[in-house]
Amino acid sequence: MNEPEIHTTDYEAALREAGVRITRPRRVILGILADMGDHPDAMEIFQRAVAIDSGISLSTVYRTMKLLEGIGAIHRHAFAGGPSRFEPAVGEHHDHLIDIDTGDVIEFQSDKIEELQNEIAHRLGYEIVHHRFEIYGRKRKKR
């Protein structure tokens, strides 16, 4: 009858794995990450964190995001014209379409494009380390 909070625990396991301490601020941030359905920036994460524990600092948010990025637990996206946004690194790889009017981020995935990328890189004599594919668009007026 009790819901095990698998999400948070998973992250904590990953952190212990990485040999870092599970502190109060980190636990709060991990909790936020666990049910993060969007792509918030550091300030937004900071505000969500403060709502849970008012003692947390923005520095710690930045430090924790960097730490999590380092162990591959989250992805950082530097979309055009704004601060970095983050998202948990769970699930399949995908790219993003950013609504330039609202800032909304829509995810999409194209095996074809990923494949073409590889062909291109190899043709040029390179191995892909990572890539960035972002479409900036405006909602098509309904007809």
Partner DNA sequence: ATGCAGTTGCAAATGATTTGCAACTGCATT
Partner DNA sequence: AATGCAGTTGCAAATCATTTGCAACTGCAT
Binding-site positions for Fe cation: 93, 95, 114, 131
Least separation in angstroms between CB 37 and a second copy: 18
Residue 107 touches which of Mn ion, Zn ion, DNA, none (CB < 5 to 8 A by kind)?
A: Mn ion
The set of residues, in sequence order, having a beta carbon less than 8 Å from that of 84 and lying 6+ positions away, is 41, 42, 65, 76, 77, 78
Residue 143 touches which of DNA, Mn ion, a second copy, none (CB < 5 to 8 A by kind)?
A: none
Are the CB atoms for 40 and 86 separated by under 8 Å? Answer: yes
Are the CB atoms for 98 and 89 separated by under 8 Å? Answer: no
Are the CB atoms for 8 and 27 separated by under 8 Å? Answer: yes
Instruction: Show the tokens assigned to 7.
Output: 């999400």
Residue 127 touches which of DNA, a second copy, Zn ion, none (CB < 5 to 8 A by kind)?
A: a second copy
Binding track over 98-137 against Zn ion, x by CB under 5 A? -----------------------------------x----
